[in-house]
Chains A and B, each alone.
Chain A
Amino acid sequence: DVKVTQSSRYLVKRTGEKVFLECVQDMDHENMFWYRQDPGLGLRLIYFSYDVKMKEKGDIPEGYSVSREKKERFSLILESASTNQTSMYLCASARQGGRANEKLFFGSGTQLSVL
């Protein structure tokens, strides 16, 4: 089975801190994604990457950046954390399916609290 591992389940940071959320997948997937999940808003796509060193903005990229230096690792960076970035962050990966759809495999999530 595909394993998507997020480095922390819970994280507490202070306003203004630089925050790194790490995600590693073990199935050689080309595509990786970062979502945030908030009550009443559902899952929203922050950034995604379809190859090493490639990144694309999702629906809500403001205040975030990403890094994909190796195929298996996709990092989400909060340059200067703010309280409105308190959320559950979910990483996902998927194969590049060509013309077919490929399902997303999710990590367990990181609940980030910014104080």
Chain B
Amino acid sequence: SQELEQSPQSLIVQEGKNLTINCTSSKTLYGLYWYKQKYGEGLIFLMMLQKGGEEKSHEKITAKLDEKKQQSSLHITASQPSHAGIYLCGAAYSGGGADGLTFGKGTHLIIQP
């Protein structure tokens, strides 16, 4: 089974509406990363969360880490067309960064005007 589950797989949201994407790990997290990818391109780093209860924001995007649930949520407020793309969460299961990240399958976000 997948170590890192992302939901939903895809999301269609009307411009201006809020939305939430979830990422749940079956193993203890050392760190949780959120990336955004435009179709056919590389991944752009959004945020990194390490401590339980940590919350970070960048422009209209907020991410939280629930250590007890081993879960992170990404929340977009007042969505815009520029938010469209694929959102991926990546989990670090050890420190140091040498082992890379395990990724969820991604959430395809479409913003309808």
Contact with A along B52-91 (1 / 0, CB 8 A): 0000000000000000000000000000000000001010
- CB neighbours (8 Å) of B113 from chain A are none
- In terms of DSSP, what is the predominant structure of the interface of chain B? loop
- CB neighbours (8 Å) of A94 from chain B are 97, 100
**Are A103 and B45 in contact, CB atoms less than 8 angstroms apart?**
yes
CB distance from B39 to the nearest CB of A (A): 10
Contact with A along B29-61 (1 / 0, CB 8 A): 011010100001111110010100000000000
**Are A33 and B105 in contact, CB atoms less than 8 angstroms apart?**
no
Q: Number of residue pairs across A and B with beta carbons under 8 Å?
A: 80
**Are B99 and A48 in contact, CB atoms less than 8 angstroms apart?**
yes
Q: How far is the CA of A101 from the CA of B41 in the complex (A)?
A: 24
**Are B100 and A96 in contact, CB atoms less than 8 angstroms apart?**
no
**Are A42 and B48 in contact, CB atoms less than 8 angstroms apart?**
no
A99-B95 CB under 8 A given contacts A106-B42, A107-B42, A109-B41? yes
- CB neighbours (8 Å) of A12 from chain B are none
Q: How far is the CA of A35 from the CA of B106 in the complex (A)?
A: 14
Q: Is B101 an interface residue (CB 8 A)?
A: yes
**Are B95 and A33 in contact, CB atoms less than 8 angstroms apart?**
no
- CB neighbours (8 Å) of A106 from chain B are 35, 42-44
CB distance from A23 to the nearest CB of B (A): 11
CB distance from A75 to the nearest CB of B (A): 17
**Are B41 and A108 in contact, CB atoms less than 8 angstroms apart?**
yes
**Are A101 and B31 in contact, CB atoms less than 8 angstroms apart?**
yes
The one of A4, A88, A96 that contacts B96, using a Cβ cutoff of 8 Å: A96
Residues of A participating in the B interface, judged by any CB pair closer than 8 Å: 4, 30-31, 33, 35, 40-45, 48, 50, 58, 88, 90, 92, 94-109, 111
Residues of B participating in the A interface, judged by any CB pair closer than 8 Å: 30-31, 33, 35, 40-45, 48, 50, 88, 90, 92, 95-106
Listed by A's residue number, 5 A-B pairs whose Cβ atoms lie within 8 Å are A41-B105, A88-B40, A101-B31, A101-B92, A101-B96
